[in-house]
Amino acid sequence: MTDPKGVALPDWAWQRPEVRDALRARDMAALFKAVQQYSGASQTRIGRATGLLQGRVSEIIAGTRKVTTLELFERIADGVQMPDDARMLLGLAPQDPAGLDHLSASGRAELIAVYPSQSAALPEIRDLAGKATTVDVLAVRGLGILGMNDSVLRPSVRKATPVVRVLLLDPDSEAAHRRASEIGESYTTFSGGIRMSIERLRELAADGVQVEAHTYALLPTWRVIGLDSTLFVSAFGETHEGHTSPMYRIAGSPHGALHRGFRRFSDELRRTARRVV
């Protein structure tokens, strides 16, 4: 049973570089050590706050046991009274996301979770992909999402055969030249990756999967994986790819603007894009 009073760290401790690095890496050993250092709490006290036995806390600190479940990350965050900016670094949804959608509780509920990168969201993405009837993808090359045999969605798509709609960057566009330059790749290699994904999507279609693929000519900004009504959204930057940026899980809500906005953007992009599969 957790201790409702938890363990309190001073506000400045959450801004310490080593604490923020531990949160980004989901390194609970480093976090627990920081909690001990800045709050003076013992392993037993941390255990009571997070609902763990002292021996389990000791194993986590020693690195012989890893924290992997979302439920335990949530218990730890609650037990050490983690502020919202720290929760988001850890990949958890903020408890009071009013700054993201201030309209109402139902509006705020559209932001379900925040992950430091796509890899942290993979278990939930793959779980939903195995049940989805419609898969929507907005990407640049899409190799890591659908283009390779071990990509994020390809095994689920081949097994469940949902409707698959994909938007990829036009390999012949000026935007493709710009994006290749941004990430330091040759245009030939970069555009070749897009063409490979298109061919791999044609293979899926030949195998009986309902595939619809288009290419767009805008400089990439958003990367979206839509699994029925749930969206996983990340962003492309000048120096990073979408899978390395923070990722947000978004669900539709009566008042929230994010879900509607991304759906509208994707639909309009598809309407004006060139169909290739």
Task: Give bridge partners of residue 231 from the DSSP assignment.
Answer: 226, 250
The 10s digit of each residue's pLDDT in 19-71 is: 999 998 899 999 999 999 999 999 999 999 999 999 999 999 999 999 888 88
pTM reported for the whole predicted model: 0.62
Give mean pLDDT, residues 137-145: 89
* pLDDT at 82 > cutoff 50: yes
pLDDT value at residue 105: 43
pLDDT value at residue 106: 44
Highest-confidence segment of 1-15, 136-150, 174-188: 174-188
10 by DSSP, 3-state: which? coil
Q: What is the mean pLDDT of the chain?
A: 85
Rounded to 5°, angle at Cα 125 from 119 and 126: 100
pLDDT value at residue 213: 93
CATH homologous superfamily for the domain 105-275: Endonuclease Chain A (3.30.870.10)
Give residue 26's region: left, alpha or beta (phi > 0; psi -120 to 50): left
**Whole-angstrom distance, CA of residue 144 vs CA of residue 81:** 36
Query: Among the residues of 173-239, which ranges form H helices?
Result: 174-182, 187-206
CATH number of 11-92: 1.10.260
* pLDDT at 240 > cutoff 90: no
**Whole-angstrom distance, CA of residue 232 vs CA of residue 111:** 10
Do the domains 11-92 and 105-275 sit in the same CATH topology, yes or no? no
The DSSP secondary structure of 34-75, one letter per residue, reads HHHHHH---HHHHHHHHT--HHHHHHHHHTSS----HHHHHH
User: Is residue 79 classed exposed, middle or buried when 0-12, 13-18 and 19+ CB atoms within 10 A define those classes?
Assistant: buried
Domain ranges of the chain: 11-92, 105-275
Task: Mean pLDDT check: name the lowest of 31-35, 143-147, 157-161.
Answer: 157-161
